[in-house]
Structure 1
Amino acid sequence: MFRCFNLLLLLFCQVYHSGNTSKPVSGEKRGNVILPCQYEDRNIGHIDLFSEVEKIDVCETEECSGRVFKEGNCDVVIKNLIFSDAGKYTLRIYYNNDQTELKYQLHIHDEISVKTGEELKMSVLVSDADKVKTNSSGEWKEVWTRDHGVQSDRMNNDDGNLTIKSFLDSDAGTYRVLDTEGEILITVTVRESKETLEHTDDSKCDAVVSWIALTVVVLLLALILTAVTLHKRLLRGDLRCLSRSTEGP
């Protein structure tokens, strides 16, 4: 009897933990993501979707004006992702006078290119954010926490934006936003824009071309001036010879 009780308790714990394990789902900012239900029962009455703070309206088709809609049997699509969409979701499925719940952890990623010296503004300080880490120095370190704010005098928190005042190549790297449980909400890969270097090279090339053109013009002017001077001297010499010949004996 005791053994059967233990087996039932173990089975209950396994079911409980599996039902409370969040399925990781990843999407790109401005893209779409699917929260898959993979539920084949055709007698589904309806579904409800919840974030940690509110119930979310789910349209029946993509044709509606909202960003969240049902696809297929009970999959949910979130389109035009923004950073504030990141976090935990619960999908409640109602069927045959019963219900089940599926949980998700939505992670959003993005890539940014920044020119040296420009301001870098990342709208990553969402409501669930607890800390931000970066590996720009070669190892992961915190650059912002909810309790202590920014950890660098080159950064500031501007209305939910983590801002680097003047971007340096050493700021390039990966920035991760974590919630209170250490789950990754947002990943932003920041790269130094090559456009600055290309512009610099173009400027150098333009300067070299301009210098060569100026040198050629100066040389041409010098040659023309020299030719004119020689021509005048030769002309004067010819006139003198002519004058002497007319004054002969």
Structure 2
Amino acid sequence: MFNRLNLVLFCLVYHSGNTSISVRGKNGVNVTLTCESEVNNIVHTELFSESEEIDVCQDEECSVRVFKEGNCDVVIKNLSFSDAGKYYLHVYYTNDQTELKRLIRTYHLHIHDEITVKTGEELKMSVLLSNADKVEKSSSGEWREVWKRDHGVWSNRLMDTDGNLIIKSFLDRDAGTYRVLDTEGEILITLTVTESGTESKDKLSFTDKDKTEDTEQQTKWIVPVVVCLVILAVNVISVIIWRHQHRGHTQVPVQENTEPPHIL
């Protein structure tokens, strides 16, 4: 590991350029901070956020989260919203044994993501970073502020808790795009929120309509059949009752005796 003290051994340190680079990355994937330089004889690479120095493994074969790749690029693995913000890359290199130079790159890392939420569920957005100044929401192209650092939330349906912006019970009107801005107006996070129940509701409405139509069609032929069965049953019962009432009045024919009378 390069020791900072070794830098003092060089006679002079030259500062080479300070270019701001915008970088966009997706939540949960990797992003590369390219140094965009062909410098050789690199002695050391350092990466700083706005609040701290970040350990950078100098070997791209490392399994750590931040490592140097290629000549002087730096890779950040498995991005999270908390990674959004400014970064400063210092690349120390030399052309001979007496002169040390430093290449400086400034990055603004903007992280985006998309999520779906069911109606009525709680939506927790971990977007209230320490460098966040405000959160805006747009569903029709017009941005509206929903949270401000010095004010908090602008609606009683929202909560600001432990760095999370929470919608207590998600409604379809809460769907849209949310963006988090820093004090300079730079975008830190863009989060697109959609309602997962919208398509299902459409399908459900269509299904219910079909069921209603099917029921109406069934009613058209079931009612006549039931009426016929009732009439038939009444007729059968009437016949049975009539036979039962007239059973005692039925005349049985008398057989004629064809044998001659016996003479005593």
> Per the shorter chain, which TM-score range?
0.7 to 0.9
Aligned to 2:30: 32
Query: Highest Rg: 1 or 2?
Result: 2
In structure 2, what is the Cα distance between the partners aligned to 1:55 and 1:222?
87
Counterpart check, 1:247 vs 2:257: no
1:188 counterpart (186, 191, 194): 191
TM-score (norm 1): 0.77
Counterpart check, 1:82 vs 2:84: no
What per-residue deviation string (whole Å, max 9, x for no partner) do you get for residues 210-229 of structure 1? 978x979x979988777666
Which moves more between the two structures, 38-47 or 71-80? 38-47
One-letter code aligned to 1:98: K
Secondary structure of 2:201's match? helix
CA 1:24–1:240 in structure 2 vs 1: closer, same or farther (change >3 Å)? same
Aligned to 2:201: 197
What per-residue deviation string (whole Å, max 9, x for no partner) do you get for residues 6-36 of structure 1? xxxxxxxxxx9x9444200000111111101
Counterpart check, 1:42 vs 2:46: no
1:133 counterpart (110, 133, 136): 136
2:64 counterpart (43, 66, 69): 66
Figure out how many residues of one structure are paired with residues of the other and give that number. 232
Contact 2:19 2:104 in 1 (8 A): no
2:181 counterpart (178, 183, 186): 178
In structure 2, what is the Cα distance between the partners aligned to 1:246 and 1:19?
130
CA-CA distance at 1:243 after TM superposition? 6.5
CA 1:21–1:222 in structure 2 vs 1: closer, same or farther (change >3 Å)? farther
Contact 1:115 1:196 in 2 (8 A): no
Q: After superposition, where does 1:1-249 map in structure 2 within 5 Å? A: 19-61=17-59, 63-96=61-94, 97-136=100-139, 138-193=141-196, 194=198, 197=201, 200-201=204-205, 204=208, 231-235=236-240, 247-248=252-253
TM-score (norm 2): 0.73
CA-CA distance at 1:186 after TM superposition? 0.4
In structure 2, what is the Cα distance between the partners aligned to 1:221 and 1:65?
77
In structure 1, what is the Cα distance between the partners aligned to 2:77 and 2:31?
6
Which moves more between the two structures, 220-229 or 75-84? 220-229
Contact 2:182 2:188 in 1 (8 A): yes
In structure 2, what is the Cα distance between the partners aligned to 1:148 and 1:39?
44
CA-CA distance at 1:145 after TM superposition? 1.0
Contact 2:116 2:194 in 1 (8 A): yes
CA 1:32–1:235 in structure 2 vs 1: closer, same or farther (change >3 Å)? same
CA 1:234–1:127 in structure 2 vs 1: closer, same or farther (change >3 Å)? same
- Sequence identity percentage: 55
CA 1:123–1:207 in structure 2 vs 1: closer, same or farther (change >3 Å)? farther
In structure 2, what is the Cα distance between the partners aligned to 1:199 and 1:62?
50
Gaps of 5+ in 2: 1-14, 95-99, 255-264
Which moves more between the two structures, 120-129 or 238-247? 238-247
Contact 1:137 1:170 in 2 (8 A): no
Aligned to 2:258: none
